[in-house]
Amino acid sequence: MWALSWALLPFIAHRGHSLEHSIVAIRISVTSKLDGIRSWSLQALDTCPGSLASPGVLVDACKGCYATTGNYRYPNVKAPRIENREDWQRLEWVDDMVKALDSDRYFRWFDSGDMYTLGLAEKILEVMKRTPWVKHWLPTRMHKFPKFQMVLSEMQALPNVMVRFSSDSVTGEFIAGLHGSVIVPDADTLPDGVTLCRAYENAGKCSGCRACYDKTVDVIAYPAHGVKMAKVIKIVKG
């Protein structure tokens, strides 16, 4: 399981027209897999409407979600994600995120969770527009909902943003021209026309690879990992 830590980035934020100031901490996570590249996240499943195949039934890819196991279960890891669900609704949140990304060159949105509401998606788009020095990678299942199509198209049109629509499959099936990522049972069952994530060759770390941020890479295949996902794949394959 990838190691997780939290970077709390405090700075002065103006509260409306008041002369008073208060310290606001943008809660940004760091996973060991990403070579220290940071991310902003929410609690898994609770903020993932696209994870449902039908009421109460998860799609296969989400049944084995890594963000519901290991270190992600600890209260100190859950707490900032829960707080982020409230924090993004502040009027100053976009300004604060732009300041927080001042020194970043790559940034991942959602190592857990998803942009469950259009208001959040629109604010993330504004952050992306105002941080052209950062290459943003955003994996999502919100493309399933028509009201998100415009904001997702605006994100993907930005030269510094790669939005990857996640396939629901755990056996390598994806729709060409739609999905930007898919789970495969292992590295030996690679569909044609996809790029293999080779983190498994490097102790689970990206080790300098930035394919997920690359607009020229159409589809990334992630080999399944973890006991929970292995059980899901076994059931799916029958």
- How does pLDDT run across 42-54, given as a tens digit for each residue? 988 889 999 999 8
* pLDDT, tens digit (0-9, with 9 covering 90-100), for 50-107: 999 988 899 999 997 776 666 666 677 778 889 999 999 999 999 999 999 999 999 9
pLDDT at 65 (0 to 100):
79
Q: How many CB atoms lie within 10 A of CB 82?
A: 15
7-22 CB burial, b ≥16 within 10 A, e <16:
eebeeebeeeeeeeee
Record the tokens describing residue 166, joined without a space. 């996640």
Examine the pLDDT at 134 and tell me if it is beyond 90.
yes
* Alpha helix segments (H runs only) across the chain: 60-63, 75-87, 93-100, 118-130, 149-157, 227-237
Contact predicate 106/135, CB 8 Å: yes
Residue 13 pLDDT greater than 50, yes or no: no
List the structure tokens of 175: 């729709």
Q: Residue 68: what residue type?
A: T
